[in-house]
Every structure is written in structure tokens, then in C-alpha cells.
Structure 1
């Protein structure tokens, strides 16, 4: 039974990563990827922090292979971990969304800074200079994810999906 549950989680992770990649490719916002954060929130709610981080890593890797910078990875992987930690401790979907915003919007920006300076020749300056680029994207995507969870909770859809994946 446990093997089957792991397989379902891996399949859901791949589907969510693909969804994030397609949405971020099809709906373009200049220097923003709000759908990554949207999917991160859904992935953490449905699968937990580690699978959420893996979905973000897969999508970020695909985005990087198609011409984006390493920020596609570094900006997306901390959010699911922080969001997942907060959600596991509190079972509060609002804190899940805030964790994604802070994790990706602030911590992800700070993590991206040394990579951008070292590998992409960004002029060294203030460590926090990427936060204004990351935080709006993380906020929009996290709020979309939260809204999706809240709306689909009303009819039980997302909780049925969660139960099916985790059974």
C-alpha cells in the first residue's frame, strides 16, 4: 500500500511540475513566475513540503533549460519547504500561503543573489536587491493558490484529491 501511495505522490508531483511549467510558459509576465508559486501552494497542500520542493525543482530546471536563469530554481525551492513546515505545524492554509510568500519572495531572493553575482555577472550591491522582483510574484501566486484551496474546499474537491493521492 505504501508503495502505491508513493507512486501516486510521484505522479502528482510530475503533473504539478508540468502544470507550473506550462502555465509559466504560456502566460508570460515580465520577470515574474506567479504560477510557480500558485503550484507550490497546491503541491504543499496536496503532497507535503518535500514533494512540493521537488515539483518546484523540476519546473525550475525545465525553465532554466529553456533559457531562464538559475533564479528559476533558487527562487522556487525554499517556499515549499517553509510553507510545508508552517502547514504541518498549524494546519492553517493562510500560513501555508504566507510561508510560500516569505520563503520564495524573500528567502529565495536572498539565496539567488550570490548565484546571480557569481555565475551571471550581476553587479554586486545590496543582498536584498532581488526581493522587489521576487516578492510580488510570490504574493500573487500564493494568493491564487490560497484562493483555489479555499474555493475547492467548499465543495470538498481538493480534500478528495488529497485523500485519493495519499491513500
Structure 2
């Protein structure tokens, strides 16, 4: 019984943190606007992948993507966000290496997210870009810049011991 309560408590904390990360990404993307780019989404995705893991990180990215779609963005707000924290979070879970979260975010978003956008943009919006590789040059720079900001922040947090404290706090 006590184990079930502990799991519920951890899940609740992670859900709340995922919602806070989603709101942070949404607000940062609204306040600091880059046409056709959302580097702050990737910044927050890296943080969420490390602190929450792949699945809660994905939930955070999905929630932010839905909020961004409701404010006038296309479905790319979702496809450009959800693959990075999954891949980065899985890599971090296996290795505890922050640099692999960076690589996971770039590959997950810059390639998988871009490739997933092609059929969805064609299906939902009727836009035929003629190639599934069309969106990669748009996604890749945003993912690199945002993931680099996330890694820089995590390295500072790691030096001060904040990464371990946050992870312990979320999992106790």
C-alpha cells in the first residue's frame, strides 16, 4: 500500500513539473519570437528529458505544442517537439550523459520530427513539399540552438548540484 502511494506521489509531482515545463516553453516561445523557429521549445525539452524522463518530457512537449497550435501555429508545433525529449530522455536514462540528451534532441527533432511533419502537413493542410526531407533545414537550426542552451543550463545546474537535487526531489 505504501509503495502505491509513493508511486502516485512521484507521478503527481512529475505531472505538475511537466505542466510547468510546458507553460515555460509556451511563454518563452511567445515572448521571444523567431519566425519559423522555436528554440525555447528545444531548450525546455532538454531540461524536461533530464529532470522528468522521456515520457513526461514528451507529455510536456505535447502540451506545449497543443497550446502553440491553439495560438495559431500549425501541427508542426507538435511534431517538432515530441520526438526530441523521447530520444534524449531515453539516452539520458541509459547513460546519464547530458551531451547525449543534446544529440537526442537534435536527431529526434531535426530529423524524426521533420520527417513526421511532411505527411501531416500534406494531409491536414494540403501542402506538398515534394520531399519528406523538406523540413529538415528548418528544424535542425532551431533544435541545435535550443538544445545547446539547454545543455549549457544543465552544465551550470550540474556544477551547483541542482540536477541531482531536482531529480531526487521529483523521485522521492
Same fold (TM over 0.5): yes
Q: Which runs of 5+ in 2 are unaligned?
A: 1-5
* 1:7-156 alignment, distance < 5 Å: 7-156=12-161
Distance 1:146 1:39 in 2: 10
Aligned-residue offset at 1:44: 0.7
- Segments of structure 1 that go 5 or more residues without pairing to the other structure are none
CA RMSD of aligned residues (A): 0.9
Cα offset for 1:123?
2.5
User: 2, 21, 31: which one pairs with 2:7?
Assistant: 2
Q: Deviations over 1:107-148 (max 9, x none)?
A: 100000011112112134111010000000011110111010
1:162 positional shift = 1.6
Measured in 2, the distance between the counterparts of 1:73 and 1:165 equals 26
TM superposition shift of 1:158: 2.4
Q: What TM-score, normalized to structure 2?
A: 0.94
Distance (whole Å) between structure 2 residues aligned to residue 15 and residue 160 of structure 1: 18
1:157 aligns with 2:169: no
